[in-house]
Structure 1
Amino acid sequence: MQKLLVVTLLCCCAVASQAQADDVDYSQNPRVPQLLERLREDDGFSEAQLKQVTDALADAKRLPQLIVQEQKAPERTETWTQYSKRVDTSRIRAGIALLQDQRDTLERAEEEFGVPPAVIAGILGIETRYGRITGGVRVLDALATQGFEHPTRSKFFFSELVEFFALCRDQHFDPRQPKGSYAGAMGDAQFMPSNYRRLALDYDGDGQADLWSLPDAIGSIANYFTHYDPDWRWRAGQPIAVPATIHGDALPDGAVANTRDHFYYVRDLEHAGIKPAVDLPGDTVVGLVDLLLDGGGHEYWLAFPNFYAIMTYNPRIYYAMAVTQLARRIEAEASASP
């Protein structure tokens, strides 16, 4: 017992030492003048507003564990068997409840943007469990830490830090207040600041685009899918993906999966031994999805453009497939309910 106590005390001291070492004044970072210049030139910040930015940066906390979390995101490190557990009974039931509780808002979003209610529910279910878990990290800390220090993605996070300060000015937020994910995504819809500024909608008519409001999140997700990327916008009335089987133990030589850079005619895939679970016209253009299972097995799907529209939300195959399958289950079980 005494030895355990000593070890525990040593660990506590190490944690305290690390916390002290991580104290930093980001307002003194050499890239701050660049940040301020962008806010001045691109967003018309006054000198008083720029002073508020530097004051907020002085209060930002360095959280290097967020960089590790971003680098080890489950979409990168898990098998599909593990990741697919997110398509669980509780999410399906809560998704069905969302379709009922937000019926008018979802129907309006589908009418205006063509995005089905179940797909919007799938996004909300995977992102935040329908607004229940929106993140507990200050966005200021997440974006400052990664914007100034991320080893490979600092350019992206730095740009989002600039957008965050502009968003706070526009929405009258105190930059020290909003909380979100480890990456700085906010609200029920988990928008990054740039998307919040550009694509968030006031869908409940209260005069503010508030992504912590389910109606605003629903409208904003639908708006996102039709305006974020013209090349991969949502195509109303078209499918997302269908299961496929292959002849043999692996994809044929030359077949490339899990990318938006290679597409195939269904007839060519069928000649190569890849068969969709439903009949499709031979000239249908699809992508290949290869999901790694525990034990080294594989699950195959053929993806339509709407699957890649979902990937604009999060560019990981597992994420897009989880949204796809959750939406399918919600829609199927909602239709089967009396």
Structure 2
Amino acid sequence: MQKNIFKSCLLIAASCFATVSHAEQSAAFMQRDDVKAFVQKMVTKHQYNERQLNQLLKQSTTQEKILTSIAKPAEKLPWHRYEPIFMSDKRIQEGVAFWKKHAKTLQRAEKEYGVPAEFIVAILGVETFYGKHAGQYQVLDSLVTLAFEYPPRSAFFKDELEQFLLLSKEEKWDPTQIKGSYAGAMGNPQFISSSYRNFAVDFTGSGKRDLINSIDDSIGSVANYFKVNGWQKGAPVVLKANTTGDKFKSAIASTSNPKPEYSLPQLAALGISPPRNANAFKGHNFALVSLESKDGPEYWLGGQNFYVITRYNRSNLYAMAVYNLSQKIKAGYQQAV
């Protein structure tokens, strides 16, 4: 009995210490010049209630594990280690099942936005395993941590925190209850706050854009995101490239911004040749994408639609994984139906 009472006292003491510690940390946090400046910006620019915003920010907690996660993203891996993360048999099979279940919605999205169903499914498969793993971080904590404790991208995440607060007002959310990724992405398609505000659509006609609970809204929103960012219906996504000599190295695209700037004749002059059926793609421009395989670099020609996928996540690795997964899912779906 005495032992239990002692344990209870220890727990209560620990809880009180944690509460005091958090209160002290919050007080110190709210006295920072950059935090005060952010609050004043929200008040001046958006007529946000200063007292309410101060109270909200006091409830947030900066988390070291968020900083650890963003410093080691999967996109820093070589291609031969990155691709297997998303190309499991289970992810492909679940993608086929998802397509079969939501075939009508995917067909409507493809018709309205010109984005093939397999790419919409693949995005949802890569991002959240078709809505099953949408993140367990409090979005407010993620954005506050990265806005004020991650100098390399502080400006970006302050903007996203601003967008999140505005989005929460628009959608009538309690900002402390919304969960997402360590980077503050939300819902089935993992939209960051600015993307949610700019690209999310009400694909059900409910009067509400709900990417957290509605698969239909998520499907429509991914398709809309691609269309607004320049998806070209029927255009090539990516083609295998063959290279000779050394001139081609000058054309290797950025790993995060592979703009399709070279025509096929220009590429040929640099010693870069596409597959034999490339005549069908005359008139299209491409970027030379380099990926690190186990046996050395492999080269691909990324078209406009490949570039669009990198607008969703600015990584050639990401775009290639989405493409490969989409083709596996498409083959599985065609076989199943």
2:258–2:302: 8 Å Cα contact kept in structure 1? Answer: no
> Among 236, 240, 245, which residue is 2:242 paired with?
245
Aligned-partner Cα distance in 2 for 1:59–1:321: 40
Aligned-partner Cα distance in 2 for 1:137–1:246: 45
1:256–1:262: 8 Å Cα contact kept in structure 2? Answer: no
Deviation at 1:253, TM superposition (A): 4.4
Amino acid at match of 1:243: K
- After superposition, residues 180-219 of structure 1 pair within 5 angstroms as 180-212=180-212, 213-219=214-220
Kindly provide the CA deviation profile for residues 193-231 of structure 1, in whole angstroms up to 9, marking residues without a partner as x: 11112221222233321112211111111111122x4xx
Q: 1:240 to 1:58 in 2, by over 3 A?
A: same
Deviation at 1:57, TM superposition (A): 0.7
Amino acid at match of 1:335: Q
Q: 1:174 to 1:242 in 2, by over 3 A?
A: same
1:202–1:209: 8 Å Cα contact kept in structure 2? Answer: yes
Q: 1:253 to 1:215 in 2, by over 3 A?
A: closer
Aligned-partner Cα distance in 1 for 2:303–2:309: 11
- 2:266 corresponds to 1:263: no
Aligned-partner Cα distance in 1 for 2:183–2:57: 17
Number of equivalenced pairs: 313
Aligned-partner Cα distance in 2 for 1:211–1:62: 25
Aligned-partner Cα distance in 2 for 1:51–1:129: 39
Aligned-partner Cα distance in 2 for 1:254–1:130: 39
Which has the larger helix fraction? 2
Amino acid at match of 2:319: A
Aligned-partner Cα distance in 2 for 1:164–1:267: 46
- After superposition, residues 111-190 of structure 1 pair within 5 angstroms as 111-190=111-190
Residue ranges of structure 2 left out of the alignment (5+ in a row): 1-16
SS in 1 for 2:267: helix
- After superposition, residues 1-338 of structure 1 pair within 5 angstroms as 24-25=25-26, 26-45=29-48, 47=49, 50-76=50-76, 78-85=77-84, 86-212=86-212, 213-227=214-228, 229=229, 233-247=230-244, 252-258=248-254, 259-261=257-259, 263-281=261-279, 283-294=283-294, 297-338=296-337
Provide TM-score, normalisation by structure 1: 0.85
Amino acid at match of 1:300: Y
SS in 2 for 1:291: strand
2:289–2:302: 8 Å Cα contact kept in structure 1? Answer: yes
1:239–1:304: 8 Å Cα contact kept in structure 2? Answer: yes
Aligned-partner Cα distance in 2 for 1:23–1:141: 17
Aligned-partner Cα distance in 2 for 1:223–1:102: 17
Provide TM-score, normalisation by structure 2: 0.85
Q: 1:143 to 1:102 in 2, by over 3 A?
A: same
- Aligned-pair identity (%): 36
Deviation at 1:22, TM superposition (A): 11
Deviation at 1:84, TM superposition (A): 0.5
Q: 1:200 to 1:307 in 2, by over 3 A?
A: same
Deviation at 1:23, TM superposition (A): 7.1
Aligned-partner Cα distance in 1 for 2:253–2:207: 44
Q: 1:252 to 1:200 in 2, by over 3 A?
A: closer
Kindly provide the CA deviation profile for residues 60-117 of structure 1, in whole angstroms up to 9, marking residues without a partner as x: 11112212211211102x1111111112211111111121111111111111111111
SS in 1 for 2:277: coil
1:22–1:63: 8 Å Cα contact kept in structure 2? Answer: no
Q: Which residue of structure 1 lines up, in the alignment, with residue 5 of structure 2? A: none
Residue ranges of structure 1 left out of the alignment (5+ in a row): 1-15
SS in 1 for 2:290: strand
Deviation at 1:329, TM superposition (A): 1.4
2:30–2:36: 8 Å Cα contact kept in structure 1? Answer: no
Aligned-partner Cα distance in 2 for 1:22–1:298: 52
Kindly provide the CA deviation profile for residues 164-208 of structure 1, in whole angstroms up to 9, marking residues without a partner as x: 111111111111111110100000010111111222122223332
Deviation at 1:159, TM superposition (A): 0.9
